[in-house]
Amino acid sequence: DTGVSQNPRHKITKRGQNVTFRCDPISEHNRLYWYRQTLGQGPEFLTYFQNEAQLEKSRLLSDRFSAERPKGSFSTLEIQRTEQGDSAMYLCASRKLSYEQYFGPGTRLTVT
């Protein structure tokens, strides 16, 4: 049973550029979550999917952020026109129904 994988692990980009991250959940996990974690803080919920449907979005998710899970398997998180405040660790987690969430290793984004 492979775990949650995320790519890339690290991304450095210049302010104003667009970036896209990918998350591959544990197979057969129908729920997929995105969280953001800044230095010294706990992760904060951004959005989640049940299969291909996006069920909830946090108010933290500005219009520059968009997430998709087109076939109910992997998911992408895109940030347009990145700002320095977007620098953070972006974490993906998956779960089967209401069981525990399992996290991937994260994508560390640095906006210069």
Partner 1 sequence: TQLLEQSPQFLSIQEGENLTVYCNSSSVFSSLQWYRQEPGEGPVLLVTVVTGGEVKKLKRLTFQFGDARKDSSLHITAAQPGDTGLYLCAGEDTDKLIFGTGTRLQVFP
70 counts as binding partner 1 under rule CB under 8 A = no
1 counts as binding partner 1 under rule CB under 8 A = no
Out of 42, 63, 70, 71, the residue judged to bind partner 1 by CB under 8 A:
42
Interacting span for partner 1 (CB under 8 A) from 11-19, 30-38, 67-75, 78-86: 30-38
With b meaning 16 or more CB within 10 Å and e meaning fewer, what string describes 61-79? beeebebebeeeebbebeb
25 counts as binding partner 1 under rule CB under 8 A = no
Out of 17, 41, 51, 62, the residue judged to bind partner 1 by CB under 8 A:
41
Cα 52 to Cα 43, 58, 74, distances in angstroms: 23, 18, 9
Cα 103 to Cα 14, 30, 56, 72, 80, distances in angstroms: 27, 14, 18, 17, 24
Q: Which residues bind partner 1 (CB under 8 A)?
A: 4, 6, 31, 33, 35, 40-45, 48, 55-56, 91, 93, 98, 100-106, 108
